[in-house]
Structure 1
């Protein structure tokens, strides 16, 4: 107060001094005032120009919008439907009301671990700071449908009730870590590498975790409501020439690769037939055709898939990512005995890897002549197994002619739950799952499954005693089951006699009718005859497994009861064929962690706002046409946003969304879990070097009907978890079946939005492993998001934008203004009369997209009509204008306002601000200029009189 009074006294003294010296200073003052008046008039005239008018109005409108938005946000309630983050909410509240925010009493609000989730105090919260010491307001938690304890001090709520006590807390993580270290998917003999009897056939730790935590009870009623499966009692893909012949996986444990390739080959054959391939005629399915089958030109390499699954990425940003075997024998072909899972095929196939023709990569030891005699001595050629490579050392692939654009997982026919002692416990049968498998067979082709085989390889004695050797039919009714083998379902028979399943241990007295026709990979008489040209008698003698045909030859097929307790993880593919022209030329991918990230095992967060984002850089002039959506549960919903940037500066704070609005946003409902290729609502042209981000929020439904979101990242075992005892080599990779995995997540590739104790925050994958379990449990990699593009640009892809303002007539030698309602972020170029205009001949400003053709450019145009196209990355706005001679009437600028929505290909907001050259803004400013000049003169006269 003292300082203000003193300062006021100084001002009064200064004023008195000026009065005493008025006469001496009047001339100098008059000159200054005259200059001020002239400057004010000049400024007002300058402001009346189109460019300045637009700048002034933009500034004014922005300030007005900011004040209005702050009030609107401050009065918004953070409900489940509110998509605003708590950070945005509290920032607005703090700006509108300086009163300290209070901590809400919402039970979903994260608290620190030592508070035991008690209700938060309503007293004003203490001041908090961000890592860069900037003050932040107390967050308001989003409404959550479920309440769980915190799992870490960061505040993120992970749904991970491992011990089954109805909540997630530190005890769950301790129990999980112990189980992880003791888990054994295989009983390997460390000296020989033999699989032994196996516990659960290689349900690796993340897959077993998925069964325990994510559950398997998500109901899916149909994958195609137009298919009336109930009326089809018998169906065989073989009879429609939509499967390939039985092959032989010997001498390795590569059943998973044979089952995956079999399903893929069938998907190709089904797709080649188009819609007609889904037609059904009962007369075509009276009896299954099991012999003399042809591949119809589709024969892919199982060796290539099995080999590449245990190969690290050799180049690119993800170099070093993947998995390798760590069997003590440590020889290259050992990878062929590590086993595998269908999800390993998904990782490679959807990255357009792991697919080659059988001709390019035959399933045969390299450098060994393919003869019947050498087949009998196959064990002698163990070290000769490897890939064929070209002159540059790159594996040969041939021309498989296929891209896998979808991998889908159906609900398990059986509820199988790990008992935490390496076994799976049968909890009941899901009848609706059988219908889904049938729908997939009719629409997409063969369905891959895992099950508990009676024997582990052909020629071995039966071990489970659930198999009827006379009818080649299996029904396992055990409570504790083992998953030991992968095969392919190729048909069904609803009327199959249950008595034919009777074996030594099972009880078929109450068993209902019905069986799957299953294709195995343990050879057939046809396989011997086709590959080694042996006679029928020799083939019949060597092929000793599978249903017998009318000639007494084993075919390699068998019947599996619908109700066999061991059937699990049915999956199928959708494909894009080269013969029709591939839909996409380029696949931008970061996720190559193979089986661990694609169980599907995805950690769930209790709130709905978790988002993941991948940032890519276009390699050339390309058009973005589709993205992948990866879901882990049935009936998931994805919200997809796309952003484009000029450089990486937007990501300095790890937030890919705060540098502007998305240029595209849409939702996608994924009924079936898996990897989906989703076409964009409209194409988006990208320039070489263009940086773009794809942000996704995936939500699903919990067992109790509440909603969660997914931490949709590559999720593998941490390095520590894979090797818990550095003094005991036998523990290295044991929980993964003696497989060692490595994740690569580089800076600038993936960002994740998590709800924390300080509200929503964007972090990197490297941070998450430390935040969730201090790197003891999981190792997080990139987001499970891919981008698909085609090469080049095509104007036919461009949607129509509206020309909001235009100059229909322009005097030659004067500027002309045109405004497209396209977002300025997407501005690409200007064309006049179909030719691209050099950027030096126009200015492009942000409003919507405001383009002013320069006077120098207008001079180059002939008198008469011309066309202008303002091109954006996804559309164009067009107009015609006339160039007139200087003695013609002055041109006028017209303005139209969009009153209707844009076409269905994508609604975009029209510009809210008046654009450059708007006549309605120019006239008032001209009047203002004259008023200021006159006012300045009046003041000058008055002061002189005084």
Structure 2
């Protein structure tokens, strides 16, 4: 079994201190309305229409390239290929997306499948359903009575899910929601026939839980200037960071711009595509990479010695990524091609990491058995930052006797300062008359600088705690960017963009902002108090994960009642356990996937399994020990 890979130590103290006022569980609005809304916040980019659908394009891609946390070696091998690592392969087979615009799902699941193989949690023939991921990304709304189970009515929307396209924010938020991971046989992809809708009963089926979606450094740094022009720089350190991460963990999903010659499969040559060498290099640098990218693929390795002369338009230097496409084995070199390190459209390299569990289809024993969430669409289609510090919280009601073991959030920028705390039974009032989610007993906190951006899970370790029906608990967070600004950690619905439906109900999420009174002044976004012109704030981007525990045992049970001598019957009723008594230590034995591993600013996802062997060997010749056969 692999070791924990994103784990953060518990901080001795957290800036989100517990704060108790008069007890009230769900008070009405009473004190003041905020004077600053979403319209005062700063967008981090804009939504652009691309060949793979609407994509959020950052104004500054260097935000993903914090130097700390990026795995580096003194010497990376000149060539590395996950298809042949000392005779073993960590790559699943080439698939064919047919005529559909679903490359984004093939890229994401190719990465997820590879990570399972590399960590020795699945055999090399693991095959997850792209169709399931696509359909329920755009049909995610769930009408369960408990809105915290499947994130209620949140969903991306489209009349044509198989052709509108997608990106890592959509695939990531769906997978982190615990949708979109079933066997191919459960929802088979058919590129030859017209695919129809899937049964709504399949929506919440998830044979595997995704635990982290990691946004890697961008080799192409584009910075949008105030005059609208772009400043471009190639970041060689980011190239090395992506290489090292791939070697440690497995296949990475990535976007790039595919031109008509390559996409036609006709053998035609263009300024970018050389079919004779299966070599591609886009050189256009006046459009930001993510905005220009129209296709998502997966990279399985690299070759530093791939000569620049093999490209139609020679780039600045030698070197190319080895790329697995989703156009079948008739394309390129049995489905593969080479993409130059200097391709200016290369963007959004991403790793999709599953839970630390052996994949056994529907019988997989999950690390976390229960999820608490209100956000089902991540940020939606837009992301905002703030010049003033903001705090966000979700309050959940315990469904059963459980142990709360982990939390997750989305972090937009590498190198961000992330502060999270968990409180049990918050009941105090904020001066606004709303619930103060920081009241009650603080059970856990962390305060860390995060090396990578992404959708990340943090385990509570020894501070995992039990809850019972009737208990509530809150997850509270504030995230500061390296440039001194702060993250707006909530779903946002932009009327001018559309494409997402959000369902935010009173009493679920809370927000505080120094612009509206500070961290003591909490507002409920469901009231519209924090909205701006055409912008609506939804739920906070905070989830919690739990495992089952036992009901409490009454240490002094009442003696069994004696039947009345005149009563010949027995009701058979047994006394209920006293839920007010302390719970006994009767937790089910469970593995913890994300135990603390030290300073997250310096420790990336740890190398695991056979891939770890390569790192330990110093990568002198790029050889790795093969994993055990399965």
TM over 0.5, shorter chain: yes
**Structure (1 or 2) with the greater helix fraction:** 1
CA contact 2:525–2:537 (8 Å) conserved in 1: yes
Q: RMSD over aligned Cα, in angstroms? A: 3.8
Look up the match of 1:625.
405
- State how 1:182-581 maps to structure 2 within 5 Å: 185-186=49-50, 198=51, 201-204=52-55, 207-208=56-57, 211-212=58-59, 215-221=61-67, 223=69, 225=71, 228=73, 230-239=75-84, 240-272=88-120, 296-316=124-144, 317=147, 318-326=151-159, 334-364=160-190, 378=192, 381-382=193-194, 384-387=195-198, 389=199, 394-395=201-202, 400=207, 402-416=208-222, 427-455=232-260, 457-459=263-265, 465-481=271-287, 482-501=292-311, 503=312, 506-508=313-315, 511-524=316-329, 543=330, 545-547=331-333, 555-579=334-358, 581=365
TM-aligned CA distance change 1:433 to 1:203, over 3 Å: farther
1:751 aligns with 2:556: no
**Residues of 2 paired with 1:790 and 1:493: CA distance?**
44
* Offset from partner CA, 1:883-923 (integer Å, 9 cap, x none): xxxxxxxxxxxxxxxxxxxxx99xxxxxxxxxxxxxxxxxx
CA contact 1:636–1:700 (8 Å) conserved in 2: yes
CA contact 1:255–1:521 (8 Å) conserved in 2: yes
CA contact 2:253–2:297 (8 Å) conserved in 1: yes
CA contact 1:518–1:559 (8 Å) conserved in 2: yes
**Post-superposition offset of 1:837:** 2.8
TM-aligned CA distance change 1:324 to 1:602, over 3 Å: closer
TM-aligned CA distance change 1:771 to 1:748, over 3 Å: closer
**Post-superposition offset of 1:661:** 4.5
**Residues of 1 paired with 2:204 and 2:386: CA distance?**
41
- The structure with the largest alpha-carbon Rg is 1
CA contact 1:489–1:519 (8 Å) conserved in 2: yes
**Post-superposition offset of 1:764:** 1.6
**Residues of 1 paired with 2:375 and 2:115: CA distance?**
24
**Residues of 2 paired with 1:398 and 1:696: CA distance?**
29
**Residues of 2 paired with 1:874 and 1:700: CA distance?**
42
**Post-superposition offset of 1:154:** 2.5
**Post-superposition offset of 1:311:** 0.6
- State how 1:869-888 maps to structure 2 within 5 Å: none
State which of 395, 412, 424 in structure 2 corresponds to 1:644: 424
Look up the match of 2:370.
586
- State how 1:654-803 maps to structure 2 within 5 Å: 654-657=434-437, 659-681=439-461, 682-702=463-483, 707-718=484-495, 721-722=496-497, 733=498, 740-756=499-515, 758-760=517-519, 761-767=521-527, 771-774=530-533, 776=534, 778-793=535-550
* Offset from partner CA, 1:212-254 (integer Å, 9 cap, x none): 2x653454336465x5262322111111311101000002111
CA contact 1:606–1:708 (8 Å) conserved in 2: yes
SS of corresponding position for 1:491 = strand
**Post-superposition offset of 1:602:** 3.7
Look up the match of 2:617.
none
- TM-score when scaled to structure 2? 0.75
- TM-score when scaled to structure 1? 0.51
CA contact 1:700–1:709 (8 Å) conserved in 2: yes
SS of corresponding position for 1:756 = helix
CA contact 2:90–2:117 (8 Å) conserved in 1: yes
**Residues of 1 paired with 2:264 and 2:176: CA distance?**
32
SS of corresponding position for 2:404 = strand
TM-aligned CA distance change 1:590 to 1:469, over 3 Å: same
**Post-superposition offset of 1:155:** 7.7
Q: Which runs of 4+ in 1 moved over 4 A?
A: 81-85, 130-134, 155-159, 222-225, 396-399, 417-421, 423-426, 460-464, 646-652, 757-760, 870-876
- State how 1:2-81 maps to structure 2 within 5 Å: none
Structure 1 residue ranges without an equivalent (≥5): 1-80, 89-129, 137-151, 163-175, 187-197, 275-294, 327-333, 366-377, 525-542, 548-554, 723-732, 734-739, 795-828, 841-869, 877-903, 906-946
* Offset from partner CA, 1:633-680 (integer Å, 9 cap, x none): 111222222222287989992233464452332324321101111111
